[in-house]
Structure 1
Amino acid sequence: MKKIGRVLLVFCLSLGLVGCVEDGSNYATKYVKAILDTSYYNDHEIYEEITLTTSDENDENYELGIQNKVEEFFYYWEIEYIDDEMYEEVVTIYKELYLQAKYEVNDATEISSTEYEVIVDIYPISIVETITAEMTEYVTVLNEKYSEYDYTNMSSEEYDALYIAYDNEWADAIISAYQEKIENITYNEVESVVVSVSVDSDNIYSVESSILTEIDSYIVAY
């Protein structure tokens, strides 16, 4: 019934990725770190100072980012029957995972008067890789358990109830695995991303969202 596949995660940051200039390369470094801190650590202080956004706006954007990840979680693990309790458990998992995101923002290099480069070193959280290996074994056991039923004379209502029970067992096993392993997070080898920070004619700094998507693809390894 289930299979483990890989999906391309798309990170949708609903943030205003612009800021007013204060001091060249130092500002570029501070700006990139502020974007990451507001996205992963739910720490908006510097981001609000730079972008003149509000706590309410950034809290909402943070929650939207978590919501996107929760939906990707259920899609990745092919969980179909999702109740409120299950959803909130995964929300908590991702908030705890993000608090353990590990990255280092290096000093910016001035490329020109309109561009800086900031290298971000990311240490990917390896929890998904570990759980995928476990679930590859678990799904075999689960399928064997449900293969013992006689489906030939089963009504559609009985089949649906059995499938929901199967789906719930699958979901419970995965969520429990995350909850267990989140207490002892391990990291993969560092991945580095070059972030290009552009400066326009009004001295407004910006970062392309595609670069943030690339960074996000490394935060939690798949």
Structure 2
Amino acid sequence: MKKHYIIMLLLAAAGNLFAQQETTEEQPQTVFSFKSVQSSGFYGAVTNASTSINGEYANLNGLYFGYFVNQKLFVGIAGAATNTSLRVPEAHKTIAGADLRYQYGHFGLMTEYVMNSNKKVHFAFNLLSGAGFTAQYLDRERDERRYKNYSHDTDFFVVLEPGAQVEVNLTRWMRVSPGISYRQTIGSDAKGLGDSDLSNVSGNVTLKFGKF
């Protein structure tokens, strides 16, 4: 009887040890360790990208937000726009002689596939698929008072931007992801901005916050 009792105790202890080990292995590895409840769920991201539009340097700030399924697949919505001044060549201005600038932006569906999400350093692959727009705007307040109801030459088109990132788990709720992507526009016919002027490589850095 004692023999059976000892065997049962040993089996129970082994099962408990295995369960603890399995739980530990499922927890994400992070650079900084803080106690937190972890599960797949919503997360958001702030991103900054450097690229070239119409031969000029352009910086884009963006956001995206969505749901992370089974620590592998993210599905959400995204948007980004330029925050740098892009000159409109004189030949393509809607107002001759005015100080006009281009505005570029895009928005749509963001999907990401994350490999080995629980590892401290891992890879993520994403795709933005949606719409983009460009417009001309006056860069000076005095010009805005002078020219009213002018044509902005607003144009909409399709945007596809696949990318890849190296993702680092800083904490269980924050990640940093430097990466690279290629922006392809389809159907742009704005003045001075064809698809070849808008399509280009981007280098980016993204901060992600949420439940991973």
TM-score band, normalised by the shorter chain? 0.3 to 0.5
User: Whose RCO is larger (CA < 8 A, sep 6+)?
Assistant: 1
Bigger fraction of residues in helix: 1
TM-score normalised according to structure 2 size: 0.34
TM-score normalised according to structure 1 size: 0.33
Bigger fraction of residues in strand: 2
Larger radius of gyration: 2
